[in-house]
Every structure is written in structure tokens, then in C-alpha cells.
Chains A and B, each alone.
Chain A
Amino acid sequence: MGLYLLVRAAVLVVSTAVASVVVFAVMAVLPGDPAEVALGVNATPEAVAAKRAEFGTDRPLVTQFLDWVSGLPTGDFGVSYVTSDHIGPQIVDRLGVTLWLVLFGMLTALVVAVPLGTAAAVRHRSVGGLLLSGLSQVGVAVPAFLAGILLVFLFAVTLRVLPSGGYTPLGEDPGAWFQQLLLPSLSLGLVQGAVLSRYVRSAVLDVMREDYIRTARAKGLGLYRALWRHGARNAAIPVVTVLGLQLATLLIGAVVVERVFTLPGLGSLLLDGVANRDLLLVQGTVMVLVVAVLAVNFLVDVLYAVLDPRLRGAR
């Protein structure tokens, strides 16, 4: 197990390093000089040159890269060309909001998908099972932002039971914090839950056909207890794979949903950065998102080893 984790950790470190190069390179080749953007179209070449020197963008790319990347481990993402603010604290501040949103979205997806998918599998020959499968198919087709708008229409506009947007930090008012996160999490999670339920269904169907479930039943376990005791962990292995991929999707989905609900998360920070041509801010935000996805993949690998003893001994 130690070796397996060591290899996975090494993969995490290497891919993070590669990602930093790619993110920096993509930003570097994008047209648009931050100095020109900052000074406007009427600036003199001298003024632009002076501004470049101030930003440090006149230095060789390698020097700029090393300068940027060496700050990352300590949370130093540089100073914005547009607002002259430090980027690091902004990202940390916004990251909290997005992480809560993604976490609640994931929980919603799991709470929806596991019972729904299991029921659809166990009753796969009945009308109810088909209905559940059909329902999840409809859910898959709905984009998160549309789900968000529909939820706002229902709960905020018509029923007036939940706020349509805004954010209160957890420390200030936990009740308001939860209420304001609820609709965004639901709109993010319900759609992913529909997607996930299809994977849960097929994983449970596969497990139901396994010989060891028959063995469990021959021991005297009822079908549901056999599935729970002997099937759950086995079915979790493919579901965890999909869950890992979905967390990446959720991060992307959060960008859109934060807009719909005016949440001050990483997604809205990113969109603001793009709108203001704040190159360094976009660069830092993208880097954080990439690292988050890589970290999730690492966690999925660790979970595999926890779930499946066959992975621990080997390699």
C-alpha cells in the first residue's frame, strides 16, 4: 500500500508541475500586452515600455515563470496588473465559497444518486425502475444553470422561502449562510445526481449478478442485506471513479452557478478577471482550479486502495 500511495503522490507532484508550465504558457501566448491594456490605446511607446518594466513583463519568459511559480507554494500569486491588489488573499477568500458549494453539490448528488440508482437497479424489471431510469435521463439533459433558474423561480420568486442569491460568511450568520448556499448546491447537485444515478444503477446491477452475492444469499442474508454488506463496497469502486470525474465537472459548473446566484466564489472571480483582462488573476485562479482537480484525482486513487484490497498488495 505504501508504494502505491507513494507512486500516486509522485504523480500528483509531477502533474502539478506540468500544469503550472501549461497554464503559464497558455497565458503567455495569448495576445494582449498587460501594459498596453493598462495604459489604453493612446499610450506612447515609452510609457508602455516603462509600464512593462514596472510589471516585469519585459523580462525573459523563463524568469517570469520562475518568479510566478516560486510564489505559489506560499500562496503568493503576484500583484494584479489592473487593481494592484495582491491576488493570493482574494483567491483564498473566494476558494472557501466555491469549496462549500462544490461539497454541498456533491452531497446532494450522492443523496440523490445512491438510493435512486440502487432502486432503479433492484427494480430494473418493473415499471418503477424504468420510470426512475427515465427520470434520471431527463435530469441528465438539464444544464446546471437552467436548473438554477428554475429553482430560483420556484423557491425564491413563487414560494419566497429561500433567497435568490447573495452570500453571508459562515462565521457571521450560519442560518443565512446555509439558506443562501442551498439553492446553488441543489442546482449543481441535482443534475450531477441524475448523471451519477445512472452509474450507480449499472454498478449495482453488475454487483447483483456477482457470484458472491449468491453466496451471501446462500448464507442466509436477504437480498437487500446481501447487497448492502457484500455489494456496497464493490459497487463503490466504479462509482468513486465517476465521482472523481464529476468533481471536476462540478468545479466548472460552479463557475456558472455562482454567476446565477451572485455568489462571491472562485468562478465569479475568474469571470471578473477575464472581463477586466486581469491576466495574472486569471492565471492564478485557473492554476488553483487545476490543482483542485488533480488533488481530487489523488484522493480518488487513495480511496481505491482503501476500498479494494487487491490494489494494496500489488505494485
Chain B
Amino acid sequence: MTHVPDTAVATGPVLTVDDLGVQVGPVNLVQGVGFTIGSGERLGLIGESGSGKSLTALALMGLLPEGLRASGSIRLRGVPDDLLGTGERRLAKVRGRTVSMVFQEPMTALNPVMRVGDQVAEVMLLHGTRNSRAEAAAAAVDLLDRVRLPDPRAMARAFPHQLSGGQRQRVMLAIALANDPALLICDEPTTALDVTVQAQMLDLIGELAAERNTALLFITHDLAVVATVCQRVLVMYGGRVVETGDVYDVFTTPRHRYTEGLIAASDLSVVDGRGRLRTIPGAVPNGGEFPDGCVFRTRCPAATTRCERTPEWSGPPGHGFACWHPVGEDR
């Protein structure tokens, strides 16, 4: 890997998201999401299914499904314009080059009729980071070796169906890192994998990101994964950020009631009176059906009439929560 990322502008955060929203028609699926990721920093994004994590990631990539719109501001270091409002052509030049993504489902994310090596080489040829097909093919084999696939030369000639799920996810990681992006987005990259290979995959992502000083946005619903991989964490519920801070602080002294519930539900050593694991009561509402005011109030044990108003953000932007009745404060 001889390519050196832009060091000329290597100051300030890699990614700055401000007041990001995702709408379908008049319905807000994500709103008011803001955060920054510094160079080489690893940010975890957690929340239950339906909390808007993946939509946030897809909005960052400019790959929202048809019919969905994003609003707000997304700025990426090295890209002069706001990503939102940038034309598709210029956005395509950023994808796979400055920011890349590993998806949740490795079994279907690769083209079944194209050789693995060609799929890795393609992303380099596309952005011109390798000069010739031969050079890109050699680099692809090298990358497959870096993601610790056995016999990378044979792997490059294989078709995706000849690989296991874990191996395919390694290929996806090789594709994502091929051009040394400034930011790597991982959307539940280990969720579909066997437990036995999850840990290896996490180690690999962490190691390769650290090697290249790649900033990481890591989406998961597994708190243990966040604790292993990330330095900071962003907790989402109902399309909003409800709490953020250093992983250690948030996990040991959560302030938002939702975070508290998530952490309690993750503790497999605690059971209730009937010997059942702790859960958050109720279910995540469908998109657009969250209550106004505090989005969590319909499931919150501490909710009062005050929660019908949207809670203000307490604390500095990178460190705080949005709750009227935070943990540790009496009503």
C-alpha cells in the first residue's frame, strides 16, 4: 500500500454531520442527527433495529433507497462541498475513494457472476489509484492477503459462491479499504456471521483501520462490540441521537433512560423475579410513528407530562444526552 492519504488537509474532523434528517414524504425517519469523527477516531452507533442507524449511514454514502430524501449538512474532509446537494457524478467520485462502506449481509453483497479479484481490482481502477489492470489485479491479491484470506491468489480467481460468509465479508473489507479511504462505515459487519468468526473480523477491522489511520463509523446493536472496537459512542432511538460520549462513560454511567435500558438488557447475568432476562418494555414503533416530544417517552419508565416537549441537549455536542429525567437526577 504505497498510497498516502491526503496529509495536506489532515486537520480538523474527517466527517462533520450537522442536523441530518431523512424524510419519506412528510414523515421524518431521522432528524437532528449531528456528530463529528476525527482522524483515525472510532465512533460506534448503537440502537435497536428501526432506530435510524442504517439510514444515517446510507445518507452519508448518498445511497438512500428511492423515495427517501436527506436534509442537513454532511462535510467530508478533502471534499470542498457539502455532500448533500452535491451532484451524483461528483458524489460517485467520493464513494469508494474517500469514504467506503461494509454492509451487513456478506452473502448477497458481492456480484455472483464476477471473480472476487476483479471485484476488488475494480474499485482501484475506477478511481485511478492503480495505473493498469495488471497492477490492480496484483494489488487485489495483496489486499486479499491483508484481510487474511488463505491462498489469496486462488481466492482472487474464485467466484463469491465458493467462499464462506466470513470470507466474503473479508473480501468486502478488502474492497472498502482498497483506496485507503479517510472514513470507513461498517453497518453491522459481523451480525450475519458465525459467532466464532465475529471476533476475528472485529480484530481485523480494528487493526487495518488503525494501520491506515482510517476513521471508523461502526454501526451495531451489540454493545460488547462497541466496547471492543470504539472510543466514542452515539446512541440513537427513533431517528434521533439521545446520548453520546466516551464509550466508558456512557456504558458505566448512562444518563439517558434509553441507554440505561439498553445496557441493562445487554447484561446477561441479571434476571428478573421470574428468571427472565431484562428487556426494554414495548417495541420500537414503525418509522414515523414515534411520539412527539421525547421519542422514548412511550416506553420510558420515568416519563412524565414534561416529556411531551422535546428534551433539550444537555452538555457539549460530543458529550451529552437529551432527557428530561436523566439517570441519577431525582424528579
Which chain A residues have a beta carbon within 8 Å of chain B's beta carbons? 125, 210-212, 214-223, 229-230, 233-234, 307-310, 313
CA distance A218 to B94 in the complex (A): 9
Measured CA separation A233–B111 after assembly (Å): 10
- Point out the residue from A125, A215, A220 that lies within 8 Å of B97, measured CB to CB: A220
Contact assessment for B113 and A307 in the assembled complex, using a CB-CB cutoff below 8 Å: yes
Interface 1/0 per residue, B230-243 and A, CB below 8 Å: 00000000000000
Inter-chain CA distance A233–B159, complex, in Å, is 14
Q: How many whole Å from B105's CB to the nearest CB in chain A? A: 6
The reply to whether the CB of B301 lies closer than 8 angstroms to some CB of chain A is no
Which of the residues B101, B112, B113, B162 comes within 8 Å of A218, measured between beta carbons?
B101
Q: List 6 A-B contacts (CB under 8 A).
A: A211-B109, A217-B63, A219-B126, A222-B88, A229-B122, A309-B113
A223 to B94 Cα, complex, angstroms: 15
Alpha-carbon separation in the docked complex, A217 to B122 (Å): 12
> Given the known A-B contacts A212-B108, A222-B89, A222-B92, are A313 and B113 also in contact in the complex, defined by CB atoms under 8 Å?
no
Closest-by-CB residue of B relative to A314 is B161
Bound complex: CA A308 to CA B111 (Å): 11
B245 contacts the other chain (CB 8 A): no
Q: Is the interface of A mostly helix, strand, loop or mixed?
A: helix
Cβ of B218: which chain A residues have Cβ within 8 Å of it? none
Contact status of A309 and B159, CB under 8 A, knowing A211-B108, A217-B63, A222-B92: yes
The residue on A at minimum CB distance from B94 is A220
A217 and B113 contact, CB distance less than 8 A: no
New A-B contacts (7) at CB < 8 Å, excluding given A212-B109, A230-B111, A234-B113: A212-B112, A219-B96, A219-B123, A220-B93, A230-B114, A309-B159, A313-B161
> Lowest 4 CB-CB distances: which A-B pairs, in order?
A220-B96, A219-B96, A211-B108, A309-B159
Q: Cβ of B172 < 8 Å from any Cβ of A?
A: yes
Given contacts A211-B105, A310-B159, A310-B161, contact A216 B88 (CB under 8 A): no
| Given contact pairs A220-B123, A222-B88, A215 touches B113 in the complex (Cβ within 8 A) | no
Contact B110 A217 (CB under 8 A): no
Which chain B residues in 33-88 approach chain A with CB under 8 Å? 61, 63, 66-67, 88
Instruction: Please tell me which one of the listed residues B89, B92, B109, B162 contacts residue A215 in the complex, with CB atoms under 8 A apart.
Output: B109
Nearest to B107 among chain A residues (CB) is: A211
Judging by beta carbons under 8 Å apart, are A313 and B162 in contact? yes
Given contacts A215-B109, A310-B161, contact A221 B126 (CB under 8 A): yes
Residues A210 and B108 in contact, CB atoms below 8 Å apart: yes
Say yes or no: A217-B108 contact (C-beta < 8 A), given A234-B113, A310-B161: no
| Interface contact A218-B111, CB-CB below 8 Å | no
Cα–Cα distance between A210 and B100 once the two chains are bound (Å): 18
**CB contact between A234 and one of B96, B109, B111 (< 8 Å): that residue:** B111
Residues of chain B lying within 8 A (CB to CB) of residue A313: 161-162
**In chain A, what residue has the closest Cβ to B104?**
A211
Residue B127, interface by CB 8 Å: yes
B122 touches A219 (CB 8 A): yes
The residue that B92 contacts in the complex, of A214, A221, A229, with Cβ under 8 A, is A221
Q: Which residues of B contact A219 (CB under 8 A)?
A: 95-96, 100, 122-123, 126, 175
Among A211, A215, A223, find the residue whose CB has the most chain B CB atoms closer than 10 A. A215
Contacting B100 at CB < 8 Å: which of A218, A222, A307, A310? Answer: A218
CB neighbours of A210 from chain B (8 A): 108
Q: Is the CB of A212 within 8 A of B96?
A: no
What chain A residues lie within 8 Å of B122 (beta carbons)? 219, 229
Report the minimum CB–CB distance from B68 to chain A (whole Å).
13
Does B95 lie within 8 Å of A218, measured CB to CB?
Answer: yes
**A308 neighbours in B (Cβ, 8 Å):** 112-113
Residues from chain B with a CB closer than 8 A to the CB of A222 are: 88-89, 92
Measured between beta carbons, the chain A residues less than 8 angstroms from B321 are none
Report the bound CA distance from A309 to B116 in whole Å. 12
- CB contacts (< 8 Å) of B111 on chain A: these are 212, 215-216, 230, 234
A214 and chain B: residue at smallest CB distance: B63
